[in-house]
Amino acid sequence: MKLKYRTWTWTWTWILLIFSSFHIVQFLFVSAFDDHANANANMSTSMNSCTTLGRKLKMPAIGLGTYLLSNVSDAITSALATPAGYRRIDCAPVYFNEDVIGDALQKHLESNTSSLKREDLFITSKLASPFHRAEHVEVALRKTLTDLRVDYLDLYLIHWPVAFKYVEIDPTSRGWKDESIDDSDDGRNIDLKVSVRETWKGMEALVDNGLAREIGV
């Protein structure tokens, strides 16, 4: 009888263990599902969150960085595709891909499947170091506008607060033939005669002329 009793006890023990395990797995699955749903909801909320800049311009808190971005066209399309997708695109001439980004943006905005318009996006770019003299700031921005295929930027930043010697450019041509605008030549190309104050005056003129909605460093 003792052996039978033990067998019966062990049988019920295994049943209880299996039953408990099932509920534990079910609890973990439901918890994981809830966490995933909450994460998606939080991401959607974050993507819609904005920071207000000095001129009351609202900037999306989360943006798509484009430095070393591979498969640019597919990346831009995927980033913009969903209602909760990226609306802020961060660019720079020294990433040497603004022309490709511009093509991808134009293709997406003109697509029959997209409801997005230019004003739905927040596009940022930056002033490269060879164009810090006041008379060169607008030339540099117009080159970026040509590459990105847009008429204005939402935010234009001084990329580095150090000026380089000027590099001749054609603001009407797209792309870059080399990377000379990002070459300090171990400091030999630094132009100490150009102050941040002079550069900033050139930046302010961009806002006055409607080429940039907001400026910064």
Active site amino acids:
95
What DSSP string runs through 139-203? HHHHHHHHHHT-S-BSEEEESSSS-B------TTS-S-SSSGGG--TTTTTB-TT--HHHHHHHH
**Cα–Cα nearest to 206, from 147, 140, 159, 149:** 140
Would you tell me how many other CB atoms lie within 10 Å of the CB of residue 37? 10
Looking at 48-141, which runs of residues are DSSP E strands?
A: 50-52, 58-60, 63-65, 88-90, 122-127
Residues contacting 161, CB < 8 A, separation 6+: 196, 217
**Residue the block writes with tokens 């209602």:** 83
Give CA–CA dist 49/71, Å, rounded: 27
Residue 134 is inside which H or E element, if any?
helix 134-148
Helices (H), 49-92: 72-81
Residue 187 zone, left/alpha/beta (φ > 0; ψ -120 to 50; rest): left
